[in-house]
Structure formats: structure tokens, C-alpha cells
């Protein structure tokens, strides 16, 4: 049920869900089926999240080329559209106060909604890939290539794809199925990872279907004749000399002890996804470092309940669980909230959640295999060359951060104050994880001891006119 602006004054509900990806949609369906009053806010024009973006309105002549994992999402979106949740599309949440009231930008003004329980389901983002030249024009993430494809049917001919992980291979395969020429796939997966991943193989076999799909993608790419360079390191993206404006036009790398150089107009980078923590961080939830997935994640119990009593977290923003895992989590979290709201008895909650809990255990074992095989190289997370830009918004390179560290900036927030690293429009999303890992390395300690930037509202970009129209904003004290 899509809501209109007039209906937004002083709205309230039992459960507020932020995000309409697989996790948020499944949470809404489950909660509505059991009689809860639900509001969903999501910042895109249509529901679906990253994986099912535009599934019911694809600009492509044949959306089947995106794969059955994509088209199957149509069923979930249809169930979501048919459920009784009040849904606000293109609604971007930018603050949640201590009083549980959420503020969101909607059609140019800020609206308020209060809820007894909040589910944060705002998904993942691509892991930063700080290598030489990653900040130059003509370099984007492979996820951005997929967003353009799914949203507008736009592709880039003859591009070079660089990195590691299933999503990278999926996007290359989607390009190839469309008949778009890919100049090369430069695969940075380390040889040693294959050996380490085999230790996880027995546990991963329960998800044989997923493994077969992954192998199928690699075979598809090889069979297309696209040049594939494997076990690549020492990547450097650069602009042609004297080019104005400066824009990336070549990549140089080491492959099998040879230096290879390729010219291209477009480079797409990807080395996995990590939770998008701008919301959970600015809400002041407790977080911890996940050494297997090499990322921060909110600290949750088995039901997705966070350290703040009325806030739960589901899907890829809790830990990387994938689309099916996100749906399972959405269901589990919603069932728990129905119990907390006295709409379900404890035994019924447990009974309804059994299957999803079991599936999560299996998926987590498979995830351990994926995390081990596609673990990004240290050098691609913690650059060593002083000229590599770490904070793209404020153009702070490694040398500048090292200097500030030498001048007593031992934590992310001191480093931010001294260099402006993390103060730009992305609010630290593109440098935060790198800064935590770099400081841990320089201090010779664990990442958990280093911490992360303090984030505050607004958690999304907000224009001053909209902010000025507000009379009161309840504070968020746990920051």
C-alpha cells in the first residue's frame, strides 16, 4: 500500500521498517500476516533492494539475462506489495531520536513517524578498494555498473572489471549475456585462498546449488573468450600523461611474473560487500569487528535484537548473509517483535522461526567458505604506497594519514579531526573500514581495540532548507 504525503502528519505504527530489500520486505510480510501495524520507509522509487532492484519494472527487453536469482524476486515483491504495510517510497530516513521517533525526507520535506519497534534493514555496500588510481574519473564500483544496468539499462562497452568475489563474476556474466564486450576480467583472488577454502568445503556442500551456480558463472565468462587474468597483484590505475581533465585510461598489474598494461575508458572495481553501518552507528548501537568477514557489524542476539531495546537489525546490514539469508533474518526478527508486542506466544514464535533458523545455520557455513575463498588481499584493504588516496571525499592519501598518526592521532576520530579524513559527503563510508584496519596495523593491535568513527545525524545528506523548516528534533544521546 503506497502512502501519499497528506497521510504522513504525526503517523505512528507498531513496527517501523527502514529498507525494502529482501530483509525489510520479508519482515513486513511476516509482521502484517500476524496483525501488526507496519510502516516501511525506503529510499528508492520501488521495492526490491540491491538484488531485486526494478524487478517489477525492468528497463531491459529481457530481464531473464540478469539470472533466475533476480527474476524470482518478483514473487517476493508482489507479496510485499499486497501486504497491509503502509509503504513510503523515495523516503530517506536521516534521524532516529531517543524517543523512537524517526525523521525522513519525503518529497522535499521532513516527516515524522513514531513506532514501538524499529527494524533497520538498510543493506550492504561494496567494500572500499583503495588502490592507486581508484579515485580517478572513469573508475567506479562494479555494483554501480549493475545499478545502472538494472535501473536504466545503461552499460559500458569494453570496460575492465577488477577484483574478486561472486558479485563481480555475476555482473560480468550479466554484461556478457547482454552481448556487451568486456575488455578483461582481472581477478585478484589469491592462490592461497583456494587451499584455505577447501577446509570449509565439507560444511559448504549442503549448499551445492549455490556452488554450482558460482562455478557456472566462471565457466560462462571463460567460454565467452573474455581475457581473464588470475592471481593478479600490484594493480595501478592511471591517467594518460598530460590528459586534461585527469581521467583513468590504463591499468598496470602483475600476473604470473609479468607486467601487463591494458588501456580502457572504464574500470569497474569490486572486492565483496560489507554491512552499511551509517544508520546502526549513528543510532549508537554496540558493534564488533568480524574477523572472518573483515568488517564491523552490529552486536545482535539470535533474534536480531540490538543493544538498544526497541531497535532490531536484519539482512546484510547486520552481517553479510546474502539475499536468502536476508529474507530469513527479516522473518526471524519480525517474529520476535510480534512476540515482544504480545501478538504471538513464545512457543508460536519459536515454532514459526524454526525453519528460518535452520536455513541460516546452513547458509552461515556456506558463507564461511565464500569468505575464505574471496578474502580480499591485505594490500587491497590496507594500501602501502604513500600516494594512494584513502579518503576520496577529502582527498587524503596514505602519507597524510601516516603523518597525522605520527603526530598522536591514534584513533579514527583523532585522525578525522586532524586530517578531515571521513568528514566528506559519504560520511566515512568509503574510508572508515580502511582507517580502522590501518590504525590497527600501525599500532600493532586488533581492529576491535581501534574502533570506528563516531557518526551522528543526519545520517543521510540533507539540504539546509529542509532542516531549517523543522522546529524540534529529539536528540540521540547514545552517540
Binding site for ligand FAD (CB under 6 A): 18-24, 41-44, 49-51, 69, 92-93, 121-126, 143, 146, 167, 170, 273, 279, 315-316, 322-323, 326, 460
CB of 424 to ligand FAD, least distance (A): 18
Give the nearer residue to ligand FAD in terms of CB position, either 204 or 440. Answer: 204
Give the nearer residue to ligand FAD in terms of CB position, either 20 or 391. Answer: 20
Sequence-ordered list of residues with C-beta below 8 angstroms from that of 195, at least 6 positions apart, any chain: none
Give the nearer residue to ligand FAD in terms of CB position, either 97 or 402. Answer: 97
CB of 201 to ligand FAD, least distance (A): 21
Give the nearer residue to ligand FAD in terms of CB position, either 89 or 224. Answer: 89
What's the chain's length in residues?
Answer: 479
The Cα 84–Cα 32 span in angstroms is: 6
Please give the grid coordinates belonging to residue 305: 535484537
**Residue from 264, 259, 228 nearest 248 by CA:** 264
Torsion angle in degrees (nearest 10) through CA of 269, 275, 281, 285:
-170
- Pair 393, 423: CB distance under 8 Å: yes
CB of 460 to ligand FAD, least distance (A): 5
**Residue from 251, 235, 244, 92 nearest 158 by CA:** 251
Give the nearer residue to ligand FAD in terms of CB position, either 58 or 122. Answer: 122
CB of 302 to ligand FAD, least distance (A): 17
- Three-point CA angle 310, 315, 320, nearest 5°: 125
Give the nearer residue to ligand FAD in terms of CB position, either 124 or 391. Answer: 124
CB of 93 to ligand FAD, least distance (A): 4
Sequence-ordered list of residues with C-beta below 8 angstroms from that of 48, at least 6 positions apart, any chain: 20, 21, 25, 54, 55, 56, 73, 77
For helices 346-373 and 322-340, the axis angle rounded to 10 degrees is 150
SS3 479: coil
Give the nearer residue to ligand FAD in terms of CB position, either 327 or 434. Answer: 327
CB of 406 to ligand FAD, least distance (A): 35
CB of 60 to ligand FAD, least distance (A): 13
Amino acid at each position: 500500500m503506497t502512502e501519499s504525503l497528506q497521510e504522513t502528519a504525526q503517523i505512528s505504527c507498531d513496527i517501523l521498517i527502514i529498507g525494502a530489500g529482501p530483509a525489510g520486505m520479508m519482515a513486513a510480510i511476516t509482521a502484517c500476516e500476524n496483525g501488526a501495524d507496519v510502516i516501511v520507509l525506503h529510499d528508492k522509487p520501488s521495492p526490491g533492494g540491491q538484488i531485486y532492484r526494478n524487478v517489477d519494472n525492468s528497463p531491459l527487453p529481457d530481464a531473464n539475462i540478469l539470472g533466475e536469482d533476480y527474476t524470482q524476486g518478483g514473487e517476493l515483491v508482489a507479496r510485499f506489495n499486497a501486504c497491509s504495510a503502509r509503504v513510503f517510497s523515495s523516503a530517506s530516513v536521516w534521524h532516529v531520536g531517543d524517543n523512537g521517533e524517526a525523521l525522513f525526507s519525503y518529497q522535499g520535506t521532513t516527516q515524522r513517524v513514531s513506532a514501538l519497534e524499529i527494524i533497520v534493514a538498510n543493506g550492504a555496500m561494496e567494500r572500499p578498494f583503495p588502490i592507486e588510481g581508484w579515485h580517478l574519473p572513469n573508475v567506479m564500483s562494479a555494483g554501480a555498473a549493475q545499478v545502472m544496468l538494472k535501473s536504466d539499462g545503461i552499460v559500458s562497452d569494453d570496460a575492465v572489471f577488477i577484483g574478486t568475489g561472486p558479485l563481480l563474476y555475476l555482473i560480468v556474466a550479466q554484461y556478457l549475456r547482454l552481448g556487451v564486450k568486456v575488455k578483461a576480467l582481472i581477478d585478484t583472488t589469491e592462490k592461497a585462498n583456494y587451499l584455505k577454502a577447501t577446509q570449509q568445503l565439507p560444511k559448504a556442500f549442503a549448499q551445492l546449488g549455490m556452488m554450482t551456480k558460482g562455478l557456472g558463472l566462471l565457466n560462462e565468462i571463460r567460454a565467452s573468450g573474455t581475457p581473464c587474468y588470475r592471481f593478479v597483484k600490484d594493480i595501478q590505475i592511471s591517467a594518460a600523461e598530460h590528459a586534461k581533465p585527469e581521467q583513468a585510461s590504463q591499468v598496470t598489474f602483475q600476473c604470473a611474473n609479468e607486467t601487463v598494461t591494458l588501456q580502457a575508458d572504464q574500470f569497474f572495481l569490486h572486492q565483496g560487500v560489507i554491512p552499511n553501518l551509517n544508520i546502526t552507528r549513528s543510532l549508537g548501537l554496540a558493534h564488533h569487528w568480524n574477523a572472518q568477514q573483515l568488517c564491523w557489524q552490529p552486536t545482535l542476539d539470535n533474534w536480531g535484537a540490538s543493544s538498544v531495546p526497541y531497535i532490531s537489525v536484519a539482512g546484510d546490514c547486520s552481517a553479510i548473509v546474502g539475499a536468502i539469508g536476508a529474507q530469513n533474518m527479516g522473518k526471524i526478527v519480525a517474529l520476535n517483535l510480534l512476540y515482544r508486542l504480545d501478538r504471538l506466544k513464545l512457543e508460536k514464535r519459536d515454532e514459526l522461526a524454526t525453519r528460518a533458523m535452520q536455513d541460516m545455520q546452513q547458509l552461515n557455513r556456506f558463507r564461511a567458505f565464500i569468505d575464505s575463498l574471496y578474502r580480499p588481499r591485505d594490500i587491497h584493504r590496507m594500501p602501502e604506497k604513500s600516494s594512494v588516496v584513502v579518503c576520496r571525499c577529502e582527498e587524503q592519501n596514505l602519507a597524510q594519514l601516516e603523518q597525522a598518526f605520527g603526530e598522536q592521532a591514534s584513533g579514527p576520530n583523532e585522525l578525522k579531526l586532524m586530517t578531515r579524513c571521513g568528514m566528506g559527503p559519504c560520511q566515512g563510508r568509503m574510508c572508515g573500514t580502511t582507517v580502522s584496519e590501518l590504525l590497527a596495523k600501525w599500532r600493532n593491535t586488533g581492529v576491535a581495540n581501534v574502533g570506528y568513527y563516531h557518526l551522528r545525524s543526519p545520517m543521510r545528506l540533507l539540504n539546509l532548507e529542509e532542516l531549517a523548516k523543522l522546529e524540534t528534533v529529539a536528540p540521540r544521546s547514545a552517540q
